[in-house]
Amino acid sequence: MTGPQSRRSFLGKLLGGTLIAAALGVVSSVVAFLFPPDAVSSALGPQRTRVGKLDDLPVGEGKLALVNDEPVWVVRLANELVAMSALCTHQGCIVKWQPDRRLFSCPCHQGLFDQRGNVVSGFPQLPLPRLNVGVVEGEVYVSASRGPI
């Protein structure tokens, strides 16, 4: 093997290796791009509203927010967050969260809903519509899309 040939061979391998490394970098980045983080791939979707920081919402407390001009309650339970429309399914009054009783009460006709929005007593026949809620980097988001009832 002569000198120039071995140099050529070395440079060829160097170029080939660099190209393969660059190609692997591009392909792995593209694959990573196509696998969204959990928060994005969850039902939250792109149409979502930031409600506030999770740390500012103690367990058992609720926060009233506007999502697409509709009042929404976000309540932090022991192990999960729940979000539901704040409009009573009876006459559309805005229900209030009572942390001590863990109930939503309607000031208009005293309808009661539990912490997940199910009817407990009173005139309402339907539960409060649930919305998807999630946490992205410490921020609580509510999606306008409806969650499971």
Partner 1 sequence: MFAPLKDILHLDTIRTTPVRFRLLHVFSAIAVLLLVVEVASGVLLVAYYRPTAADAFSSIAIVTDEIWLGWLIRSLHVWCADFLILFSFLHLIRVYFAHAYEAPRQLTWVTGILLLCVLLTFGFTGTLLPWDQYAYWSTDAARKAIAAVPGLGTLVLDLIWGGWAIGEEVLLRFYVLHIGVLPWIGALLLWLHLLLVWRFGLTEPVLRSRRYGRLPSSFFPDFVLSLLIAVLLLFGVLVSIATFFPATLTAPADPVKALGVVRPRWYFMAPHELLRQLPGKFATLALLAVFALLILVPVIDGRPDTARWKAIVRWTLGTLVITAALLLGVKGYLP
Residues in the site for partner 1, rule: CB under 8 A?
A: 29-30, 32-37, 39-40, 45-48, 136
Instruction: Name the minimum Å distance from CB 4 to partner 1.
Output: 17
Distance CA 6, CA 124 (A): 86
Instruction: Name the minimum Å distance from CB 46 to partner 1.
Output: 4
Q: What are phi and psi of 107, to 5 degrees?
A: -70, -15
Instruction: Name the minimum Å distance from CB 11 to partner 1.
Output: 13
Instruction: Name the minimum Å distance from CB 36 to partner 1.
Output: 6
From the number of C-beta atoms within 10 Å of its C-beta (0-12, 13-18, 19+), residue 113 rates as buried
Of 49 and 118, the one with the shorter C-beta distance to partner 1 is: 49
Of 67 and 106, the one with the shorter C-beta distance to partner 1 is: 67
Q: Which residues of 79-99 are buried (b: 16+ CB within 10 A; e: fewer)?
A: eebbbbbbbbbbeeeebebee
Distance CA 99, CA 75 (A): 9
Of 3 and 37, the one with the shorter C-beta distance to partner 1 is: 37
Of 94 and 136, the one with the shorter C-beta distance to partner 1 is: 136
